[in-house]
């Protein structure tokens, strides 16, 4: 079995007298994991702990099986980090900044320079790579931060609010880049964001935190697959007999009386059979939706419940 | 260079040894410093005094040169420990000014621009970061202090002979140790001030304040309370006392050099000087430990 990307075991982090992360436990192996939660839920604290910036007061956290405390350097050697806030080195040109960061990650100077140029072209800043970072716009700084995070070819990429402050085209570009990284399959990424759409667009697993605890963890892909069997029908002329026929196929069905029917298709039953039944009963099926929980539904459910499941 | 490859690709090539990465920070800092004409000029000008000293040593052992120019050789022309102590004092003063220009700019911009999470999210520790920044100062200040000092001693040893060299081995030891104490104090202080205030000009001003204002305050205490313990606030007095003890006890006749001079009768016990300097270094390390972090925790 492959080593999980992140393993948490009763992880507690205390800042001063405040307990921020409360006995987090779980094992995450997804290619792209979204980290969601309201403000103060502990998303940034979790990332900072995984990066070794904060020391756990109890429990352990591992990246690729390496303890972030005892094997901090080895673990950080596999990581790229794009922080949420403005982070750069004043007075440096973009390409020199990324080269320095790649060299600090262990790349020899020549390779670091080559990859810094590549990273800049890849994020779309090739033309401005010799300008000092201080003169970049907010969107360009975000892209430069992404470039420094990937230049050394990490195995795990932490993206903390990567679309912060971006206008719609720039946001779209950032999402595309993240999707491209994800789809290449060379690295895992952890995306922390309060924008559900960003997470939904980029991630296949979502970890929802609330008050320092895991409120929910779900595999979006499985969720989508599982929900594929849930159907919502809008009909004209449906009656109890038609619903009875549907149940006769082995479906669970609920009829609201205004023509709307919700049902679950069991294995072996196809949508085509519903249309055949409707034809026999002379019922018009005007709309058929595969009902699916949006990430918003999942998030809201997690916020309502005290504890989610892992 | 493959700049046409507009794609992301992983890296699985050779990595540099972990121990050498602090030198990356130093290399980039030197590239930045090299662009400053003033600093380059100041640095190279600081070698004028050692050149003068080398010429003096040469003359001491080649008095015939003075005759050739029709000059009378001086009656007493001894080049011993006080000569080297004066050399160390003068060069250390220049080192202080260079440090005041360079030191505050090493850490403050990183903290002001929130760059530490970028450094420390790599396989690069806080200690390596501080070591990298300190090495910038340590190498430059070494080139101004003990390196030319030892070169001068080597020149004199060559001219004066083996016997003189062996009987004066205390001089290079004192030069080396005295310089390193000064370098350590200067670099720790400037990095700590820089990290503390996160603002380059203020950190530079603080550095001057610690040396000049604090010594003035110490002198005021001495004057008002009729004591000599105010010198504990005077870093240059402390280091001057340590140098005198390192070079030779007989130098305790009001020796020291430039602003490191220790006035006769105002010496404080040498262990107090050492203890004060150690406390100062520990305080700087404490400040650096508090400030050099990937994330600042507001409690």
DSSP conformational letter for B122: S
Written as one string, the DSSP assignment of B222-242 is: HHHHT-SGGGGG-HHHHHHHH
Q: Tell me what percent of the residues of chain A surpass a pLDDT of 70.
A: 95
B chain contacts of residue A121, beta-carbon cutoff 8 Å: 3-6
Q: Give SS3 for B15.
A: coil
Q: How far is B15 from chain A (nearest CA, A)?
A: 5
Interface residues from chain B to A (CB-CB < 8 Å)? 1-16, 18, 21, 24-25, 28, 32, 109-110, 112-115, 117-125, 293-295, 297, 299
Nearest by Cα to A189 from A149, A238, A138, A249: A149
Pick the residue of A15, A43, A53 with the most B CBs within 10 A to test the interface with B by mutation: A53
Residue of A nearest to B1 (CA): A114
Cβ within 8 Å, pair A52-B119: no
> Number of C-alpha atoms within 13 angstroms, CB side, residue A199?
26
A145-169: per-residue pLDDT in tens? Answer: 999 999 999 999 999 999 988 899 9
Chain A neighbors of B294, CB-CB under 8 A: 48, 51-53
What whole-number distance in Å separates Cα of residue A69 and Cα of residue A301?
34
- Strand A58-63 and strand A6-15: the pairing is antiparallel
To test the contact with chain B by mutation, choose from A19, A82, A106 the residue with the greatest count of B C-beta atoms within 10 A, namely A106
- Buried-exposed string B154-184: b where 16+ CB fall within 10 A, e elsewhere: eebbeebeeeebeebeebbebbbebbebbbb
pLDDT tens column, B121-172: 999 999 999 999 999 999 999 999 999 999 999 999 999 999 999 999 999 9
Q: What pLDDT band is residue A195 in, cutting at 50, 70 and 90?
A: confident
Could you say which residues of chain B have pLDDT below 50?
1
Nearest Cβ partner of A54 from B5, B109, B295? Answer: B295
| Residues B65, B70, B71, B75, CA torsion sign | positive
pLDDT value for B285:
97
Going by C-alpha positions, the residue among B224, B120, B118, B245 that lies closest to residue B181 is B245
pLDDT-derived band of residue A78, with 50, 70 and 90 as boundaries? very high
Which of A53, A90, A158 is the closest to B109 by Cβ?
A90
The confidence band for A309, taking pLDDT boundaries of 50, 70 and 90, is: very low
Rounded to whole angstroms, how far apart are CA atoms B195 and B204?
Answer: 12
Q: Say whether B14 and A122 touch across the interface (CB within 8 A).
A: no
DSSP chain A: -PPPSEEEEEEEEEETTEEEEEEEEEEE--SEEEEE-STTSSHHHHHHHHTTSS--SEEEEEETTEETTTTHHHHHTTEEEE-SS----TT-BHHHHHHHHHHHTT--HHHHHHHHHHHHHHTT-GGGTTSBGGGS-HHHHHHHHHHHHHTT--SEEEEESTTTT--HHHHHHHHHHHHHHHHHTSSEEEEE-S-HHHHHHH-SEEEEEETTEEEEEEEHHHHHHHHTTEEEEEEES--HHHHHHHHHTT-EEEE-SSSEEEEEPPTT--HHHHHHHHHHHT-EEEEEEE----HHHHHHHHHHSS----
* Pairing label, strands A284-290, A66-67: unpaired
pLDDT (tens digit per residue) in A206-257: 999 998 999 888 888 777 666 557 888 899 988 888 988 998 988 888 887 7
From chain A, the residues in CB contact with B6 under 8 A are 118, 121-122, 126
With contact defined as beta carbons under 8 Å apart, do A219 and A308 qualify?
no
Contact B112, B296 (CB under 8 A): no
Question: Is there a contact between A83 and B124 if contact means CB atoms under 8 Å apart?
Answer: no
**B113–A51 CB contact, under 8 Å:** no
What is the C-alpha to C-alpha distance for residues B86 and A16, in angstroms, rounded to an integer? 51
Q: How many residues does chain B have?
A: 299
Across the interface, which of A73, A81, A148 has its CB nearest the CB of B18?
Answer: A73
The interface predicted TM-score (ipTM) is 0.85
Nearest-by-Cβ selection for A51 from B1, B4, B121:
B121
Cβ separation of A105 and B109 shorter than 8 Å?
Answer: no
The residue of B8, B23, B289 whose CB has the most chain A CBs within 10 angstroms, and thus the best one to mutate to test that interface, is B8
Taking an 8 Å cut-off on Cβ atoms, the answer to whether B294 and A51 are in contact is yes
Are A90 and B9 in contact (CB < 8 Å)? no
Select the residue from A57, A69, A104 to test the B interface by mutation, using most B Cβ atoms within 10 A: A104
Q: Which of B9, B119, B293 sits opposite A104 (nearest CB)?
A: B119
DSSP-derived pairing of the beta strands A79-82 and A156-160: parallel
Task: State the pLDDT confidence band at A308, using cuts at 50, 70 and 90.
Answer: very low
* Model pLDDT, residue A254: 84
Among A231, A226, A227, CA closest to A249: A231
User: Is residue A111 pLDDT above 80, yes or no?
Assistant: yes
* Cα gap A166→A158, rounded to integer Å: 18
* Residues of A in Cβ contact (< 8 Å) with B108: none
pLDDT given for residue B133 in this prediction: 95
Give residue A222's pLDDT.
76
User: If pLDDT is split at 50, 70 and 90, which confidence band does A24 have?
Assistant: very high
Q: Which one of B11, B15, B109 has the shortest CB-CB distance to A89?
A: B109
Query: Number of CB pairs < 8 Å for A and B?
Result: 141
Q: Which residues from B are below 8 Å from A72, CB to CB?
A: 125
pLDDT of A226 reads 63
Closest CA to B57 of B36, B78, B38, B81: B78
What is the rounded CA–CA span in Å between residue A229 and residue A189? 30
Q: Summarize pLDDT for A130-143 with one digit per residue, the tens.
A: 999 999 999 999 99
Nearest-CB residue to A87 (from B118, B122, B299): B118
Q: Which residues of B touch A186 (CB under 8 A)?
A: 8-10
Longest dimension (CA), chain B: 78
Q: Please give the Cα distance from B136 to A193 (Å, whole number).
A: 39
Structure tokens at A237: 């002329």
A155 and A184 in contact (C-beta within 8 Å)?
A: no
| Average of per-residue pLDDT values in chain A | 88
- With a cut of 60, say whether residue A100 has pLDDT above it: yes
Question: B-chain residues within 8 Å CB-CB of A81?
Answer: 117-118, 121
Owner of token pair 């080195």:
A89
């Amino acid at each position: 079995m492959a080593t999980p990307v992140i393993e948490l075991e009763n992880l507690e982090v205390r800042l001063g007298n405040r307990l921020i992360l409360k006995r987090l436990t779980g094992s995450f192996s997804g290619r792209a994991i979204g980290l969601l939660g309201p403000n103060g839920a502990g998303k940034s604290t979790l990332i900072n702990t995984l990066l070794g910036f904060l020391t756990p007061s109890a429990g352990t956290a591992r990246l690729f099986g390496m303890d972030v405390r005892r094997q901090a350097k080895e673990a950080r050697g596999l990581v790229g980090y794009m922080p949420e806030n403005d982070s750069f080195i004043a007075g440096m040109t973009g390409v020199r900044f990324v080269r320095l960061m790649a060299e600090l990650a262990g790349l020899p100077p020549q390779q670091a320079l080559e990859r810094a140029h590549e990273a800049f072209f890849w994020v779309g800043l090739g033309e401005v790579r010799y300008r000092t970072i201080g003169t970049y716009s907010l969107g360009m700084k975000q892209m430069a931060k992404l470039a420094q995070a990937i230049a050394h070819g990490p195995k795990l990429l932490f993206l903390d609010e990567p679309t912060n402050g971006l206008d719609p085209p720039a946001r779209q570009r950032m999402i595309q880049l993240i999707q491209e990284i994800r789809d290449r399959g060379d690295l895992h990424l952890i995306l922390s964001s309060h924008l559900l759409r960003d997470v939904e667009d980029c991630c296949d697993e979502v970890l929802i935190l609330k008050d320092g605890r895991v409120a929910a963890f779900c595999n979006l892909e499985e969720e989508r697959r599982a929900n594929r069997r849930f159907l919502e029908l809008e009909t004209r002329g449906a009656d109890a007999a038609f619903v009875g026929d549907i149940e006769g196929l082995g479906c669970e069905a609920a009829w609201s009386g205004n023509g709307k029917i919700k049902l679950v298709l069991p294995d072996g039953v196809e949508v085509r059979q519903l249309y055949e039944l409707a034809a026999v009963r002379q019922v018009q099926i005007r709309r058929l939706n595969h009902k699916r929980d949006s990430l918003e539904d999942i998030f809201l459910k997690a916020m309502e419940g005290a504890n989610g499941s892992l | 260079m493959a700049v046409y490859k507009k794609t992301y690709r992983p890296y699985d090539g050779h990595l540099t040894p972990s121990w050498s990465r602090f030198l990356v920070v130093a290399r980039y800092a030197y590239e930045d410093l090299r662009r400053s004409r003033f600093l380059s000029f100041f640095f190279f000008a600081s070698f004028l005094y050692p050149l003068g000293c080398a010429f003096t040593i040469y003359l001491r052992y080649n008095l015939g040169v003075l005759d050739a120019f029709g000059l009378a050789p001086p009656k007493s022309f001894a080049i011993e420990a006080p000569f080297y102590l004066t050399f160390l004092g003068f060069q250390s003063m220049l080192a202080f000014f260079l440090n005041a220009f360079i030191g505050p700019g090493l850490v403050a911009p990183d903290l002001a621009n929130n760059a530490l999470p970028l450094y420390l999210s790599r396989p690069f520790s806080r200690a390596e970061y501080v070591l990298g920044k300190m090495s910038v100062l340590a190498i430059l200040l070494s080139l101004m202090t003990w390196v030319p000092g030892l070169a001068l001693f080597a020149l004199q040893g060559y001219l004066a002979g083996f016997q003189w060299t062996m009987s004066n081995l205390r001089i290079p030891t004192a030069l080396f140790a005295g310089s390193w104490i000064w370098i350590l104090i200067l670099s720790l202080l400037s990095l700590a001030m820089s990290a503390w205030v996160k603002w380059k000009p203020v950190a530079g001003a603080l550095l001057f304040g610690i040396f000049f204002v604090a010594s003035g305050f110490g002198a005021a205490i001495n004057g008002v309370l009729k004591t000599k313990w105010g010198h504990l606030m005077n870093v240059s007095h402390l280091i001057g006392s340590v140098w005198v003890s390192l070079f030779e006890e007989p130098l305790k006749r009001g020796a020291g050099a430039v602003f490191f001079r220790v006035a006769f009768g105002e010496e404080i016990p040498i262990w107090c000087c050492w203890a004060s300097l150690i406390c100062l270094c520990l305080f700087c390390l404490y400040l650096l430990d508090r400030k050099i972090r990937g994330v600042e925790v507001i409690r």
